Amino acid sequence: MNVINRINWLRFKKYLSSHCSESIQLRTPGDVELSIENFTKMMNQAVEHASTTYQQPSFNRIFSADIQRLVSEKRRARREWQQHRSPQHKARLRECTTRLRNLLASEKLHRLKISGKS
């Protein structure tokens, strides 16, 4: 599953405006370092406060070896056609696309027949 983080930018802005102090004294290099650390912590806390995390379901489709081979062959043909734009490469791409489409249709029909018998 893919983990997705969403940030509510309005909540982020409100958190920063409520926790940020505008009167920072920067007189020594130590003050600058401390202010940078505090700013970094505050930004990280704002991100944590404004973020929501959820998992997106993944779809694991199991394809036969023939389908996987045809998909990779079609991708290769498309890449070659995009590079050269010749009629021969376009014809090869069409051929691969047609073969893949026909194989997918026959696999779907086969699955429907199997599920209909159950």
pLDDT in tens, 54-104: 887 776 677 889 999 999 999 999 999 999 999 999 999 999 999 999 999
Predicted confidence band of residue 113 (pLDDT cuts 50, 70, 90): confident
Q: Which residues contact 44 (CB under 8 A, 6 or more apart)?
A: none
pLDDT value at residue 55 = 81
Per-residue pLDDT tens digits for 32-53: 999 999 999 999 999 999 999 8
Q: Three-state secondary structure along the chain?
A: CEEEEEECHHHHHHHHHHHCCCCCCCCCHHHHHHHHHHHHHHHHHHHHHHEEEEEECCCCCCCCHHHHHHHHHHHHHHHHHHHHCCHHHHHHHHHHHHHHHHHHHHHHHHHHHHHHHC
Q: Higher pLDDT residue, 28 or 23?
A: 28
Q: Enter the pTM of the model.
A: 0.49
How far is it, in rounded angstroms, from Cα 31 to Cα 39?
A: 12
The pLDDT of residue 114: 86
pLDDT of res. 44:
94
**pLDDT score at 1:** 53
Q: CA-to-CA distance for 102 and 77, rounded, in angstroms?
A: 17
What is the rounded distance in angstroms from the CA atom of residue 103 to the CA atom of residue 110?
Answer: 10
